[in-house]
Structure 1
Amino acid sequence: MTHKNDFLRKGPAGLVVVPLLFALVTLALLAVMFKVFAAPYYSLVEWFMETSVVETQPKDLFDEAAQTLTNTENDRTAQEEPEQETIPLSSITYPSKGDRYGRITIAGTTVDAPVYYGDTNSILNQGVGTYVDSSGAGIPGESKTILMAGHNNTFFNDLQSVEVGDVVTIETHYGTYTYTVERCEVRDYQDTTTYDFTRTDENLILYTCYPFDALGFTPNRYFVYASYTSGPELDADR
């Protein structure tokens, strides 16, 4: 009695077709398994690639403004002109991601750091970063929520010394702003109630990883909340 598939088991063709089919099935199974097990790491790779990008040719708006101010000091009158209460938004150079546009200091602490627009890893290695990925997030003077981050083992290590009532000063290339600390809290890093980007009154939030001596990832963040005290308003309609 003969069988239809005798050529697969006994003929020369069987020596080629059977191993080939086996190899194709094996490759298909490996592809499926790789997709299943590698999927959780796709977002991690995307995050790493995004945060590893170095901003192209960032500007130092703060230093440029300081140089301009120095060059014009000899032309000033003896009486200092008062700082403007309102500045047309169109009259300033609005920062782009990676630009340094200010400097932050906190009375009674050693916090004294450059302020950048954006908060990527490369920026946080250079100074304090400003969150910008929301239409409700702003920079000083925009009457919005200003969210700034700094590393706990460098620029924001001394946030631990901040007390209620302390004054936070942010000097920008278009004006100087002060904020008064209202409270300090430790919150989970996934807690989105720590900030409110729908507010239309200017407020400042500073945060860093907690505890302050922690190295690497930690699930907690230390937040400092401060209310607006002084500084020129940026008029978006002008």
Structure 2
Amino acid sequence: MMKKSLLPQLLMPFLVTTLCGGIMFLLSINPYEKAEAYLRVAFMDNNNVIPQSEGIAGLNIVQTDINTEFSGKTYDKGDVVYPEYGTQYAVIECEAVDIFAPVYWGNGAELLELGGCNTPSSVVAGGEGNTVISAHVNTFFAELNKVKVGDEVRIFTDYGRFTYTVSELIEFESTDKKYLKKGDKDILTLYTCEDNLLASSDKRIGCICELTKREFYNEPKEEIKDEE
């Protein structure tokens, strides 16, 4: 009678261990952005800014209850309010692709776990210039790749609500900063990473939206002074 080979028996534990290890590794990096967020200080592509507070080390995160159903009188002119770094100052909504997320003034891993980030090197919603907001592709901006030209995007704040219309879909490399500049056009730029299961992508996808309607909740301070 021939003796059975011991090789398969010796290799089996090794193969099982390797297979389990591979599965655990894939689970640990899916989605990859969540793991990457803790390895990189800023998702905002090294778009460095000077925080208005103590900075990332002493970050004070403030969550705000934003009224998205304001029904009072509004004005087409008013004053925007710049919040403290780390403060939720807005809610962004795009009903066409089911986006509804809080927006924080600042950037970095901690804030991106909570919502979208409006980089302080741009302007706040309703301001003059480019409002740049990013979020993770596996969470708050998971549906951003579905937006189409003509879709409506609204941003709600404590000082007003602002309506934008998608005018252009964009793709760019992480090293390309042309879409992230403040500029002189009153627009909204939304972007996120290209969805990639197993590795970090250097490509960014998103859209540019034109500001089509400003609705401030209070009259401009200058006009109030003139009346007095």
Provide the TM-score with structure 1 as the length reference: 0.63
User: Secondary structure of 2:178's partner?
Assistant: helix
Within 5 A, what are the aligned runs for 1:68-217? Answer: 81-89=72-80, 92=81, 94-132=82-120, 134=121, 137-199=122-184, 201-210=185-194, 212-214=195-197, 216-217=199-200
Whichever residue aligns with residue 178 of structure 1, its letter is: T
Query: 1:169, CA displacement in angstroms?
Result: 0.7
Query: 1:98, CA displacement in angstroms?
Result: 0.8
Q: Deviations over 1:143-168 (max 9, x none)?
A: 11100000011110100110000000
Query: 1:196, CA displacement in angstroms?
Result: 3.4
Counterpart of 1:226 in structure 2 is 209
Closer/same/farther in 2, CA of residues 53 and 225 from structure 1, 3 Å limit: same
Query: 1:142, CA displacement in angstroms?
Result: 1.4
- The whole-number CA distance in structure 2 between the counterparts of 1:150 and 1:215 is 19
Closer/same/farther in 2, CA of residues 54 and 109 from structure 1, 3 Å limit: farther
- Does the CA-based 8 Å contact 2:133-2:191 persist in structure 1? yes
Closer/same/farther in 2, CA of residues 66 and 168 from structure 1, 3 Å limit: closer
> Which runs of 5 or more residues in structure 1 are unaligned?
1-46, 71-79
Counterpart of 1:60 in structure 2 is 63
Kindly indicate which of the two structures has a greater share of residues assigned to helix.
1
- Does the CA-based 8 Å contact 1:102-1:172 persist in structure 2? yes
- Does the CA-based 8 Å contact 2:41-2:108 persist in structure 1? no
- Does the CA-based 8 Å contact 1:101-1:172 persist in structure 2? yes
User: Secondary structure of 1:123's partner?
Assistant: helix
- The whole-number CA distance in structure 2 between the counterparts of 1:231 and 1:176 is 7
User: Secondary structure of 2:110's partner?
Assistant: helix
- Does the CA-based 8 Å contact 2:67-2:156 persist in structure 1? no
Whichever residue aligns with residue 100 of structure 2, its letter is: D
Q: Highest Rg: 1 or 2?
A: 1
Q: Which structure is richer in relative contact order (CA contacts within 8 A, separation 6 or more)?
A: 2
Counterpart of 1:43 in structure 2 is none
- Does the CA-based 8 Å contact 2:116-2:134 persist in structure 1? yes
Closer/same/farther in 2, CA of residues 237 and 182 from structure 1, 3 Å limit: same
User: Secondary structure of 1:160's partner?
Assistant: helix
User: Secondary structure of 1:192's partner?
Assistant: coil
- Does the CA-based 8 Å contact 1:60-1:99 persist in structure 2? yes
Between the two proteins, what is the percent identity of the paired residues?
25
Counterpart of 1:4 in structure 2 is none
Provide the TM-score with structure 2 as the length reference: 0.66
- The whole-number CA distance in structure 2 between the counterparts of 1:138 and 1:165 is 23
